[in-house]
Structure 1
């Protein structure tokens, strides 16, 4: 059984990625979630409606002990499973100006995006290297490549993942395991629901917000065998707002 794990896979961009990996690449998808079980179940139902397979798996990516415990139990129950694709998509925002930013708002954002990347990727890395095939795709952000005022914590966390992507790619390329990052701009999803789309789209050369399916299409390509010679890249998908 060939599998793909998508962290934060229950909603928005994560849900769209789960559907693409299952429907187009035929993976059994592990839909990770932390709190919203109902949304995770809806994502699984959407996969099953299209004749694909998957399951939901609950853990907090920022909690190293929980990640190990849950994934060890899953691995023991599925000894025949081969995880080929890992999409580090989980992320949270706690926006405020840096001078007002509370320590917990800094650390919680770091824990999910940056520490979460380490916790989940480190669990799978030896398995990927032993099987000599894998795709690691990290969902970062335009904030992580250009910086966004009011998001110093989020920008720092995502920039950290950008650096980790480039370094890890060099370490493991010989084993046919690629590591790439996808940096979305304004994408119509749960995370942008409170934004003034009409005002903001005037800043975007493409004059619109992106769709979650467009991000998922890019991730699906990077997860495919067609992308075997692409590694260490950060690919912007932002309608031209930053290049």
Structure 2
């Protein structure tokens, strides 16, 4: 049986999650994606696109703020495609705040998706992996470079995504004996669903490589980390930013 990957947050054609799905499918990996706030026809259309790679594909509509989301997702994928050996925690919640506007609800809304759902998916994946007798597994979390730069005006997002870095490094030590690598990828500012022309104009000169990052750039790195060639890489946060500078 081939590899199976679980990717969260694939809800639109040009988002990071969808690019990751395409990349892994191109490597012959079966795809199971979660989505939220997608257009009505999107899931079926995307499934058909992924099936054209010659792999199996299924998806699940789910709100990751549900405290039982991790268990629901892993039960569902196991019942449809089989147990995954690759987990990519891509989904995220993000709204602007700043110290004037930050309140309990804003913090909680970020926490339940960016931290709780990510952490619970990681550990439940590992628990089930251990029982599955699989030999090699991959966990890849998405962060946003909070360990190398500040994000004023996005305090809740920066704090909750920054926690993923610490979690990734600590979890990697626990799971290494099981054959599971745990890494994080910071894709830098990426031209996906959130970027406007105004933002592009400001950011473009800051990329040393001469262009703004695309979802496919991070997807290629994630494809490598999911491969057998990356079996010796764990506990790392890899910054894939095309020479982006923050001055």
Q: What is the TM-score normalised by the length of structure 2?
A: 0.89
Residue 176 (structure 2) pairs with residue 173 (structure 1):
yes
Could you tell me which residue of structure 2 aligns to residue 92 of structure 1? Answer: 93
Aligned residue among 153, 161, 164 for 2:156: 153
Contact 1:144–1:155 under 8 Å retained in 2 = no
Question: Runs in 1 of length 4+ with deviation above 6 angstroms?
Answer: none
Secondary structure of the 1:100 match is coil
Alignment RMSD = 2.0
In the aligned structure 2, how far is the partner of 1:22 from the partner of 1:215?
15
Could you tell me which residue of structure 2 aligns to residue 133 of structure 1? Answer: 136
Closer/same/farther in 2, CA of residues 190 and 21 from structure 1, 3 Å limit: same
Secondary structure of the 2:10 match is coil
In the aligned structure 2, how far is the partner of 1:60 from the partner of 1:40?
15
Secondary structure of the 1:207 match is coil
Secondary structure of the 2:84 match is strand
In the aligned structure 2, how far is the partner of 1:145 from the partner of 1:40?
35
Displacement after TM superposition at 1:195 (Å)? 4.5
Could you tell me which residue of structure 2 aligns to residue 29 of structure 1? Answer: 31
Closer/same/farther in 2, CA of residues 14 and 62 from structure 1, 3 Å limit: same
Q: Spell out the pairing of 1:52-131 with structure 2 (5 A cutoff).
A: 52-75=55-78, 77-78=79-80, 81-130=82-131, 131=134
Single out whichever of 212-221 and 90-99 deviates more from structure 2. 90-99
Displacement after TM superposition at 1:186 (Å)? 1.2
Could you tell me which residue of structure 1 aligns to residue 41 of structure 2? Answer: 38
Single out whichever of 35-44 and 212-221 deviates more from structure 2. 35-44
User: Gaps spanning 5+ residues in structure 1: where?
Assistant: none
Residue 188 (structure 2) pairs with residue 185 (structure 1):
yes
Single out whichever of 167-176 and 64-73 deviates more from structure 2. 64-73
Q: Deviations over 1:134-164 (max 9, x none)?
A: 0000011124542211111111111100100
Secondary structure of the 1:45 match is helix
Could you tell me which residue of structure 1 aligns to residue 204 of structure 2? Answer: 201
Could you tell me which residue of structure 2 aligns to residue 225 of structure 1? Answer: 228
Could you tell me which residue of structure 2 aligns to residue 213 of structure 1? Answer: 216
Closer/same/farther in 2, CA of residues 16 and 138 from structure 1, 3 Å limit: same
Displacement after TM superposition at 1:242 (Å)? 5.0
Greater per-residue helix proportion:
1
Contact 1:3–1:27 under 8 Å retained in 2 = yes
Single out whichever of 159-168 and 114-123 deviates more from structure 2. 114-123
Secondary structure of the 1:191 match is coil
Q: What is the TM-score normalised by the length of structure 1?
A: 0.90
Displacement after TM superposition at 1:127 (Å)? 2.1
Contact 1:3–1:28 under 8 Å retained in 2 = yes
Could you tell me which residue of structure 2 aligns to residue 238 of structure 1? Answer: 241
In the aligned structure 2, how far is the partner of 1:188 from the partner of 1:111?
25
